[in-house]
Structure 1
Amino acid sequence: MTMVQADLWWPTWQTLPWKRQALLIHQISRYFLSPLLAVDDTVRVNVTYFGQTFTTYDLLCGGEWLRFIPGARHVLLGAPTPLPTAWQALLGAATLSPQTAVDVSPMLVARKAVPSLEQVIGRIDLTTQRFSGDHFTYVPVKPAVLAALQQAGEQNWPATVSGQGVSLHRQSDHHYQVAIRQDWQRPGLIHGLHRYGFDLLTEHQYEYVMSGGLAQATPWGNTLPAPLPRYVPNRFGLTVPVARAGSELIAEEWGKSTALQPPLAAAQVAALSPWFRTPAPAFATSTYRKVAVIRLD
């Protein structure tokens, strides 16, 4: 069976039989991910967002879980001008992206954001010490990774452990994600992503994956719950914590969101909106999500 462009877009994706969806995901993993990184696992997932269920797939590639997000036609992104009265209390003083209607292509996007000074290269089994991921990059840092893994065992497997130039992040009961700490700036990060066929999200892509294509001030709607939960609801099931060390980097020069630590002051609430812009994000405290865009034309 061939890959049909319309099958990868709303609303067609949601109507496909699961076998057709699974075949499409298999084809995507073969043709839109770098041969340097094996796909170690594929998992079908259901995401529930305010009573609506979305079915998609996660692919474990190079130590990171990538989520398939279908594309959307003529999706409305950005803040309207003037702002509706109901939104002014939340967003009135913030710098926001202007409203526009765009087509957003299907994509594989990292489920979690990564610190800007880290490069995830794979994951390692706690018991067997078997590494899966980018073996070419792993070999030079293998001694540091194994030393950090031994340290983690002595500390009863903490959530994060640091070694000489590497960081291990607990990913499951049996694995640590392996990341190299990089002394780079934005051009180096982008070069590292391009090496494996990834990129930073554009502003339109970021707003789409954070808003789910819904025209509302925040992922909760136009009012916020009190108190705020630890995580922001996401229509596609991405992991978006309320507390964050800095902005999220995008392909454009500005950033999205900013450093937040609950409880939030009134002036900070706007940073939870997908439309919020940071003019000059501090690179060292920022995070990023890698994306592989799926285009058949």
Structure 2
Amino acid sequence: MELKGRNAVVTGAAGGIGAAVAAALRERGARVLLADLAEEVSDTAAQLGQPHWRGDVSSADGVAELVDTAERELGQVDLYFANAGITGVTGLGGESDWDRIIDVNLRAHIRAAERLVPKWQARGEGYFVATASAAGLLTQIGSAGYSVTKHAALAFAEWLSVTYGDDGLRVSVLAPMGVNTKILWGDGSEAATGTALTGQRAVAEAGNVLEPAEVATTVMAAIEAETFLILPHPEVLDMYRMKGSDYDRWIRGMRRYQAKLRQG
């Protein structure tokens, strides 16, 4: 898709990958509505000279308000980046933990698609970009909620592409490993310990930790080429192929790697 002159919404845009994607879109001539729950989104948007929406995409009402705001500020939405995400608690978590991470990491994607896909079908084009993670292809050591929701976000994006691809809908999924953002290192309020530290080390040590701007450049190239799976860390594909070729061997290897990290 040609990005110049397009209207885009980016959630989770106050910083990290979302802010970098918004900046990259602006550089290519797109107009962008930056959305986030964090108040810093207003500063990030001001730096780019673009509108913003501050709110929570974890509810149906929040997503509806976001889409309405985008259409009022920009006009028709051409691209939607479902980028907002949380790591959630480590381990199994409880009922409220699962409700929260499913709402943010998965249902926010579904609710946005419910609002946008019928309009894109009628127009014959539209682009949905989901931020999943390498954890959506592999698995995140330490966090059940993160692993499950990232797998589900990727599966939902696959379904969108299969179901509506012939209607002009384009879909991409971003699946990086380590990126230098708060979602990897935390917000700095306290040091990671125990299972959280193990999970953090698993990501940081599996490959290079990229800067958000590097990831955004890869994303732009993939959208222009209309590539479904976006892998800023190419080695993820090798890992995924290894997993699929012998699941039991892969699980044994992950157990060994987890034990090594815990000893670490």
The TM tier, using the shorter chain, reads under 0.3
The structure with the greater share of residues assigned to strand is 1
Q: Which has the higher contact order (CA 8 A, sep 6+)?
A: 1
What TM-score do the two structures reach when normalised by structure 2?
0.26
